[in-house]
Amino acid sequence: MDAAQRQRLEETTRYDPSEVEARIFAEWMEGGYFHPVAEGDPEENFSVAIPPPNVTGVLHMGHALNGSMQDALVRMNRMRGRNSLWILGTDHAGIATQAVVEKELRKDGKSRHDLGREAFVERVWEWKAEYGSRIVEQYKRLGASCDYERERFTLDEGYVKAVYRVFKQLFDKGYIYRDNYMVNWDPGSHSAISDLEVENREVEDSLYSIDYPVEDSDQVLTVATVRPETMLADTAVAVNPDDERYGDLVGKHVILPLVGRRIPVIADEHVDVEFGTGALKITPGHDPNDFEIGRKHGLQEIGVIGSDGRMTEEAGEFAGMTAAEAQKAVVEALRAEGRLRAEEPYVHSVPFSHRSGERIEPLISLQWFCRMDELARPAIEVVERDEVRITPSQWKRVYLDWMEEIRPWCISRQLWWGHRIPVWYCDACGETIAAEAAPERCGSCGGELRQEEDVLDTWFSSAIWPFATLGWPDDTPELRAFYPTSFLTTAREILFLWVARMIMTGLEFPGRVPFRDVYVHSVIQARDGRRMSKSLGTGIDPLQEIDVYGADALRFGLLAMSSTQDVRFSDAKVEQGRDLANKLWNASRLILLNAAEVEPAPRPVTVEDRWILSKLERTIASVTEKLETYDFAHAVQEAYSFFWRDLCDWYLEIVKPRLYDGEEEEVSATLLHALERVLALLHPTMPFVSEEIWSFHPAREGHLAVHAFPVADESQVDPAAEEDVEGGIGLTQRLRAWRDLAGVPAGATLPAVIDGVEPPGFVARLSRFEFDGVGSEPVASIGPVRVLDSDQLDAAAVAERLEKRREELRAEVERGERKLGNEGFVAKAPAEVVEEERGKLERYRNELAELS
RNA sequence: GGGCGCGUAGCUCAGUGGGAGAGCGCUCGCUUCACACGCGAGAGGUCGCUGGUUCGAAACCAGCCGUGCCCACCA
C-alpha cells in the first residue's frame, strides 16, 4: 500500500460502489480473465451457457437473479483454477424484434410490406446494430463474468449454419414434415405459434343454444356454443354413442340453419352427456377438438375465418366481417329465424397469444411440424437416470410428465425476421428440397427453385444454444473443451420451452447431454406479491437498484431472497447487502490501517485467535458446500453472519487493544489472513467490493477474480476454543443486559469479583466491569460474576432486575421438573436428551438457590 | 378436471421430531479513537383451523379453510 492508497483508505469512511464498479470491471476485462483458452476437457473445465436474452430485451429482475447465481458459480470455479467459460449472447427473438421494428415503421405511416422482405430484414439488422447490445452492457453492470469476446447471436453466420444442419438432418430423418393441420393462429403477430406460446385465461362469454332441425322431421337437435359464428363451418353434430336420447338420430342428418347445409349426426365418445343437451356441433375448421373428431370421422373441413381474422367467402353473407361482428350478426339472424333457444353468461378458459396478447384463432393451415416422440425418448431416459439432475426434485416429475405427453411442434412462423426455412420448391416438377445451402436448380428437372417463405420458431434455434455457440457442427477447440456445459440455472417457465428442447437436441446432435445439472430457481415477485411484469407496471428495474445500492448489494439481496419458493422482492435484503459492503470496507480499513507489516498467516496466540480461526474455516466449509448445492440464500446469510457477528462484533472488538498496540505481529498476521480468506470467499457473490478491498491488501499479487478460492482447513477447527469464547460472549451479553436493566449509565465501569471459573479476559472490558474491583457487598450474581454495590447502582432497579431473574429461573425449574417428571419421557427419550435436561435443571436450581 | 407449492414476530422470509430464528421495522440507551449504511440492550409469536400418531409436533398423517402457480380439447 503506497501513501496515496493509505490516504484514500483513511479518508473514505463509506464504501461508494458508483465510484468503484466501472473501474474494477474495466480491470477485469483488461486482464482477460473472462476469456479462457479453449483447452482441456469438459470434465476439468467449467462452462455455462447464459439463457440468451432477447435482443430487444432490457435487463429485468429475472436476468439479474439468474445472472447472480451463475456468476457466483462461474467465479468460484474460475478461482479454483478451472478453465471457466460463461458463454454469452442474444436471441434474435423473431416475433418480438419484428414487432419493434414494425412499430417504428408505423410511426412513418409504413408497414413492412411497403419495404418488402429484403429491405425490411435489412432494417431489422440496422436496428440490431444500434440497440442490440443494450442488454449485454447491462450484464456488465451486474458484474457478470461472461466471455464478452465470444459473444454470439442466434442469427450470426456460424449459428445459421448450425440451424440449417439441424433442420436438414431432422428433415432427412422424416421428423420434420409439412402438413395442413390445426394451429394456434395469432392474429396479433399474423403467424402460427406453438402450444407453449399460448396461455389460457378465464373469460366471460355467452353460451348460445341453437336449434338444428332434423331432416324430414319436426324434431330439433339443440347444440350449445360460445362461438356461434363458427356454425357456418359446421360439418356434423355429434352425440355420445351411449346417449339413449339420441340413439335413433345417429346416421340421420340435420339442416344447418342460415346455411342450409345437410350435415350428419355422428356418434363420438368425446361428447359429454352431461353438458348442455348432450349434442355437440362439430366445426373441424375452427376448433381443435372438432378438428380431431373431424379427422377421425372423415368430415369435411371448412374455413370461414381467414388468417386476417375476417370472415371468408365461405361465410356467405357474413364475408368480410370480423369474427366479432359476425358473431353478433349470426346471433341476430338465428334469433330472427327463431333458432336461438337460449343465451346465458358463461365463464371458461380461452387461449391467448403469449406474444401479442390477442385471442388465439384456431385455424387449419399449411405449416411445418417436427415430430417429437423419437427425440423425446432419450431425453426422458437421461432425466430418469439422473444423468441430467433437476433441482429441486419436484421439477423432475413435471418435466417427465410433459415429455411423455409431448406432441408435434409447429416450427414455422409467418414472419420475415428469423431463420428462413431451408426448403426449396420446384414449381415445375413439384419437388421439395431441404438443403443447408441454396441449391442452384431443381435436382430432378433442373427447374427454377423458390425458397419457403416462412421462418423457423425462434425456439428452434435456441434449442441448440449450448453447442451451436461453441462452433458446432464444426469440430472446434471450444466444443471439445466446453461441451457439455457444467450446469444450467433457469426459471421454470422455460423448462419446456427451452430446457427440454436443449436436452433433446443435445442428445440428437453432439450426442451428449448439454448439462448435468438444471437448477430451477424461484420467481421474485413484485413487492405486493403480484407478478413482476411490464404490462402491469409491477417491474422493478435492477439497473436502478444498482445505481442506488450497488451491484454487490443487489446480488447479495437477490441471492438472500432466493429460495425454493417464490418470494416477494425485498428492499430490506438489498439494503442488507449494501450495509454488508460498507461494513466490509470499514472493517478492512481497521485491519489494513493498523496491521503490522507481516505475512498473512494463522498465528493464534490466545483462545480468541483459535476461536476465530475455527469459525472461519467452518464458515468456509459450509458456505462452499451451500454454493455447490445451489443453496445461495443460506450461503450468503452464513457468510454475512460470520463476518458481521463473529468477526466484527466480537473478534475485532476483542483484539483492538492488541492491534492498536502494533507490537504484536501475530494478531496482524491472523487478521490479514482472515481478511484474505473472507474476501476470497465473498468474491463470487460480491465481486466488486471484495476486489476493491483486495487492492489494498499487502498480500495482493494479482486480481482477486483469479485468486485461489479458499479450501476449508479442518485442522483449525477447535471445539474447545469455541466453547470457551462463546461462553465468554454469553456472559458478556448477560452482564450488559443486567447493567442496562439495572439503570447503570452507559459509560460507567462497575466493580465486581469473580467467584468460580475465571472468564476470558475480554469479558470485563466489553461489559465494562472491573473484576478485582473494590466495593461493598455483592448485590447481584451473574454466572461467576458477583456485582459489588457502588454508587453507580440504582437499588430499586437492581432489586427489580433480581426479582425478574428469579421469576425466569422458577419458570425454567418448573419446566424441567415437569419434563423429567414425565415417566414416558425418561423411559423412551434418548439417554443424552434426558441427561441434557437433568443438567439444565440442576444449573437452574443452583442459580436460583444462589439468588435467594 | 389433474398436478405442485405456500399459510411461522408488524413486514419479508428461514427453520421439517427434543426448549421458536434472521433481516427490516419498533422501544430504550450510546458523538466508545473501522463503520450512525454504526454500537449496546429490549419488546414482540395459542407456528391457519380441527383431529390423529408420538414420551415429545411448527415439523409426521388425515380433513377443513385461505392463497399462489403449472398442466389440461367439456362445447
Distance of CA A317 to the CA centre of its chain: 52
Q: What is the pLDDT of residue A794?
A: 85
| Minimum-distance nucleotide, CA of A834 to C1' | B18
Please state whether strand B lies within 7 Å of residue A394 at its CB atom.
yes
Which residue has its C-alpha nearest to nucleotide B15's C1'?
A: A634
Residue A730 scores a pLDDT above 90: yes
Question: DSSP character for A375?
Answer: H
- For A553-573, how does the pLDDT look when each residue is reduced to its tens digit (9 = 90+)? 999 999 999 987 889 999 999
- For A176-205, how does the pLDDT look when each residue is reduced to its tens digit (9 = 90+)? 999 989 999 998 888 998 888 888 888 888
Q: What is the pLDDT of residue A787?
A: 92
Please state whether strand B lies within 7 Å of residue A128 at its CB atom.
no
Please state whether strand B lies within 7 Å of residue A719 at its CB atom.
no
Instruction: Choose between A242 and A84: higher pLDDT.
Output: A84
Q: What is the pLDDT of residue A200?
A: 87
Q: How far is the CA of A394 from the C1' of B10 (A)?
A: 34
Q: How far is the CA of A815 from the C1' of B45 (A)?
A: 19
- For A249-308, how does the pLDDT look when each residue is reduced to its tens digit (9 = 90+)? 888 899 998 888 999 999 888 888 888 888 899 999 999 999 999 998 889 999 899 888
Residues in A 787-846 whose C-beta is less than 7 A from nucleic strand B are: 811-812, 815-816, 822, 824-825, 827-830, 833, 840, 844
Q: How far is the CA of A634 from the C1' of B52 (A)?
A: 34
Helix (H) / strand (E) element for A139: namely: helix A134-142
Strands (E), A156-197: 176-186, 191-193
Residue A461 scores a pLDDT above 90: yes
The shares of helix, strand and coil residues in chain A, as percent rounded to the nearest 5, are: 50, 20, 35
Query: For the purposes of burial, counting CB atoms within 10 Å of the CB of A821, is it exposed (0-12), middle (13-18) or buried (19 or more)?
Result: exposed
| Minimum-distance nucleotide, CA of A226 to C1' | B75
Please state whether strand B lies within 7 Å of residue A736 at its CB atom.
yes
Q: What angle do CA A652, A657, A659 make, to 5 degrees?
A: 70
Please state whether strand B lies within 7 Å of residue A656 at its CB atom.
yes
Q: What is the ipTM of this complex?
A: 0.96
pLDDT band at A540 (very low <50, low <70, confident <90, very high): very high
Residues in A 238-257 whose C-beta is less than 7 A from nucleic strand B are: none
CB atoms within 10 A of CB A474: 12
Q: What is the pLDDT of residue A648?
A: 97
Please state whether strand B lies within 7 Å of residue A275 at its CB atom.
yes
In the sheet that holds A340-353, the strands lie side by side as A220-225, A198-213, A340-353
pLDDT band at A7 (very low <50, low <70, confident <90, very high): very high
Residues in A 212-231 whose C-beta is less than 7 A from nucleic strand B are: 223-227
Residue A153 scores a pLDDT above 80: yes
d(CA A264, CA A235): 7
Query: For the purposes of burial, counting CB atoms within 10 Å of the CB of A261, is it exposed (0-12), middle (13-18) or buried (19 or more)?
Result: middle
Please state whether strand B lies within 7 Å of residue A276 at its CB atom.
yes
Q: How far is the CA of A441 from the C1' of B1 (A)?
A: 54
Residues in A 337-366 whose C-beta is less than 7 A from nucleic strand B are: 348-349
Q: How far is the CA of A97 from the C1' of B25 (A)?
A: 45
Question: DSSP character for A310?
Answer: B
Instruction: Choose between A536 and A377: higher pLDDT.
Output: A377
pLDDT band at A82 (very low <50, low <70, confident <90, very high): very high
Mean predicted confidence (pLDDT) in A56-78 = 95
d(CA A632, CA A65): 11
| Minimum-distance nucleotide, CA of A495 to C1' | B70
Residues in A 23-82 whose C-beta is less than 7 A from nucleic strand B are: none
Question: DSSP character for A12?
Answer: -
Residue A488 scores a pLDDT above 90: yes
Q: How far is the CA of A138 from the C1' of B36 (A)?
A: 33
Mean predicted confidence (pLDDT) in A602-609 = 96
d(CA A124, CA A107): 15
Q: What is the pLDDT of residue A258?
A: 87
Per-residue burial over A265-279, b if 16 or more Cβ lie within 10 Å, else e, is: bbbbeebeeeebbbb
Which residue has its C-alpha nearest to nucleotide B3's C1'?
A: A398
| Minimum-distance nucleotide, CA of A811 to C1' | B19
Q: How far is the CA of A535 from the C1' of B69 (A)?
A: 19
Which residue has its C-alpha nearest to nucleotide B35's C1'?
A: A586
- Percentage of chain A modeled with pLDDT above 70: 100
- For A396-413, how does the pLDDT look when each residue is reduced to its tens digit (9 = 90+)? 999 999 999 898 999 999
Question: In the predicted model, what is the mean pLDDT of chain A?
Answer: 92
Q: How far is the CA of A565 from the C1' of B18 (A)?
A: 28
A72 to A78, A81, A620, A813: CA distances (angstroms) = 10, 15, 15, 49
Query: Which of A76-85, A258-267, A304-313, A739-748 has the largest mean confidence?
Result: A76-85
Residues in A 589-608 whose C-beta is less than 7 A from nucleic strand B are: 589-590
- Percentage of chain A modeled with pLDDT above 90: 67
What sign for the dihedral angle of Cα A666, A668, A670, A672? negative
Q: What is the pLDDT of residue A572?
A: 95
pTM: 0.93
Q: How far is the CA of A564 from the C1' of B65 (A)?
A: 25
Please state whether strand B lies within 7 Å of residue A393 at its CB atom.
no
Per-residue cell: A554: 443487489
Please state whether strand B lies within 7 Å of residue A731 at its CB atom.
no
Please state whether strand B lies within 7 Å of residue A12 at its CB atom.
no
Contacting residues for A283 by C-beta, under 8 A, at least 6 apart: A227, A230, A231, A233, A234, A235, A290
Residue A852 scores a pLDDT above 80: no
Question: DSSP character for A149?
Answer: E
Residue A792 scores a pLDDT above 90: no
Q: How far is the CA of A538 from the C1' of B37 (A)?
A: 27
Which residue has its C-alpha nearest to nucleotide B30's C1'?
A: A746
Mean predicted confidence (pLDDT) in A361-387 = 93
Q: How far is the CA of A745 from the C1' of B30 (A)?
A: 10
Residue A605 scores a pLDDT above 90: yes
d(CA A375, CA A378): 7
pLDDT band at A517 (very low <50, low <70, confident <90, very high): very high
- For A15-56, how does the pLDDT look when each residue is reduced to its tens digit (9 = 90+)? 999 999 999 999 999 999 999 999 999 999 999 999 999 999
Q: What is the pLDDT of residue A8?
A: 93
Strand B nucleotides within a 7 Å radius of protein CB atoms:
3-6, 11-14, 18-19, 22-24, 28-42, 54-56, 68-75
Residues in A 762-781 whose C-beta is less than 7 A from nucleic strand B are: none
Which residue has its C-alpha nearest to nucleotide B14's C1'?
A: A634
- 3-class secondary structure per residue, A221-259: EEEEECCHHHHHHCCEEEECCCCCCCCCCCCCEEECCCC
Strands (E), A371-506: 389-391, 409-410, 412-413, 423-426, 432-434, 449-451, 455-456, 485-491
Residue A394 scores a pLDDT above 80: yes
Q: How far is the CA of A399 from the C1' of B4 (A)?
A: 12
Q: How far is the CA of A481 from the C1' of B15 (A)?
A: 42
Mean predicted confidence (pLDDT) in A512-533 = 91
- For A360-373, how does the pLDDT look when each residue is reduced to its tens digit (9 = 90+)? 899 999 999 999 99
Q: How far is the CA of A270 from the C1' of B75 (A)?
A: 11
What sign for the dihedral angle of Cα A717, A718, A721, A725? positive
Q: How far is the CA of A733 from the C1' of B41 (A)?
A: 9
- For A610-658, how does the pLDDT look when each residue is reduced to its tens digit (9 = 90+)? 999 999 999 999 999 999 999 999 999 999 999 999 999 999 999 999 9
